[in-house]
Structure 1
Amino acid sequence: MNAQKRHEIFARLQAENPHPTTELNWSTPFELLAAVLLSAQATDVGVNKATNKLFPVANTPQGIIDLGIDGLKSYIKTIGLFNTKAENLMKTCHLLINQHGGEVPETRKALEALPGVGRKTANVILNTAFGQPTIAVDTHIFRVSNRTGIAKGKDVVEVEQKLLRHVPNVFKQDAHHWLILHGRYTCIARKPRCGSCIIEDLCDYKDKTELA
């Protein structure tokens, strides 16, 4: 895929959704960090249901610590893997207080040192909370990037590196959100809705459907 096509793809995605953002509910960097930690192998809807009850009670590292591990689990028990997630979030809260003054750090190295925070989560925080032009590659973005031809790669790191190299700078800040939403609602895994896709004519996918 050439640079002109890529530019047009993102121009159309921008025109359709000028101000994309995560579907997780958050109002502070810590709330976003907590929500993303809870979101692994869970839906944003499910996470939001839990955090809508949790955050009014505890939305700071100290607030989570004050709940205690059992108290925290009582709020997030509807989310998959909640036991492990509760332990990681509690450990993260202690580290934030002890090493970062209770604030979420703004560097990849510091974020990835937190329990349960890998490269993808760090990218989400850096991009969404702090406005850095990172691209977190999840299953949706991996699929869309390979299927459309925007950035083909064998693993998420290769796709991320190619996206950072090929996405025009003017679109880089929001590229993560456009691609994930496109993969979530249009370029879905089994039967992509090519019939209603705004970039269908620019896409390299050979097995297009007429589904809308």
Structure 2
Amino acid sequence: MNKDKRRQILERLREANPHPTTELNYSSPFELLIAVILSAQATDVGVNKATDKLFVIANTPAAIQALGLEGLKQYIKTIGLYNAKAENILKTCAILLEQHGGQVPESREALEALPGVGRKTANVVLNTAFGWPTIAVDTHIFRVSNRTGFAPGKNVNQVEEKLLKVVPAEFKQDVHHWLILHGRYTCLARKPRCGSCLIEDLCEFKTKTEPEG
């Protein structure tokens, strides 16, 4: 895909959604961090149902620590892999209290040192909580980037590197939200909704689907 076509795609996505953000509910960097840890192999809707109840009771490292392991599990047991996630969250809270004054660090290295936090989670927190021009590549972004020809790669790291290279600076803050939402609601895994896609004419996907109905 050439540079002009990529720019047209980004301009259309921006026009349709000028101020995109995550669909996870949060009101602080710490709440976002916990929500993103919980979102691995889970839906944002499912995470929000759990955190809407959890954060009323405990939305700081100290408050979650005070719940203890079994107490925390009661709030997140509807989420996949909740046992491992509960343990990671408590370990993360301890590190935040001991090493960072109870605050979420604005540092990739420090974030990735937290249990349950990998590169993708760090990218989401840096982008959404702190405004960094990072691009977190999840399954939706990986699919959309490859299927459309926008930023093809064999793995998430290759796609991230490509996106960072080809996306102009003015779009970097928002592009991962646009691509996630596009993959979640239009460019679906099994049957993409090509007929209702606002970038269909720019997309290089060879086997486009017919409009429904």
- Normalization by structure 2: what TM-score? 0.98
**Alignment pair present for 1:207 and 2:207:** yes
Alignment partner, residue 43 of structure 1: 43
Helix, strand or coil at the partner of 1:55: helix
**Alignment pair present for 1:14 and 2:2:** no
Instruction: Give runs of aligned pairs for residues 1-212 of structure 1, distance below 5 A.
Output: 1-212=1-212
- Amino acid corresponding to residue 112 of structure 2 in structure 1: E
- Amino acid corresponding to residue 33 of structure 1 in structure 2: L
Q: For 1:52 and 1:198, how far apart are their aligned partners in 2?
A: 33
Q: For 1:42 and 1:152, how far apart are their aligned partners in 2?
A: 25
Q: For 1:89 and 1:185, how far apart are their aligned partners in 2?
A: 30
- Amino acid corresponding to residue 40 of structure 1 in structure 2: A
- Amino acid corresponding to residue 177 of structure 1 in structure 2: H
- Normalization by structure 1: what TM-score? 0.99
The answer to whether the 8 Å contact 1:127/1:135 transfers is: yes
- Amino acid corresponding to residue 116 of structure 1 in structure 2: G
Sequence identity percentage? 75
TM superposition shift of 1:141: 0.1
Q: For 2:161 and 2:136, how far apart are their aligned partners in 1?
A: 10
Aligned residues: 212
Q: For 1:76 and 1:26, how far apart are their aligned partners in 2?
A: 16
- Amino acid corresponding to residue 77 of structure 1 in structure 2: K
- Cα deviation digits, residues 135-187 of structure 1 (max 9, x gap): 00000000000011110000000000000000111111000000000000000
TM superposition shift of 1:211: 2.9
- Amino acid corresponding to residue 100 of structure 2 in structure 1: H
Helix, strand or coil at the partner of 1:201: coil
Where does structure 1 lack aligned partners over 5 or more consecutive residues? none
Deviating 4+ runs (over 6 angstroms): none
Q: For 2:70 and 2:27, how far apart are their aligned partners in 1?
A: 25
The answer to whether the 8 Å contact 1:191/1:211 transfers is: no
- Cα deviation digits, residues 123-146 of structure 1 (max 9, x gap): 000000000000000000000000
Q: For 2:39 and 2:190, how far apart are their aligned partners in 1?
A: 22
Q: For 2:210 and 2:174, how far apart are their aligned partners in 1?
A: 28
Q: For 2:209 and 2:83, how far apart are their aligned partners in 1?
A: 41
Helix, strand or coil at the partner of 1:200: coil
The answer to whether the 8 Å contact 1:192/1:211 transfers is: no
Helix, strand or coil at the partner of 2:201: helix
Q: For 2:190 and 2:133, how far apart are their aligned partners in 1?
A: 30
Q: For 1:97 and 1:56, how far apart are their aligned partners in 2?
A: 20
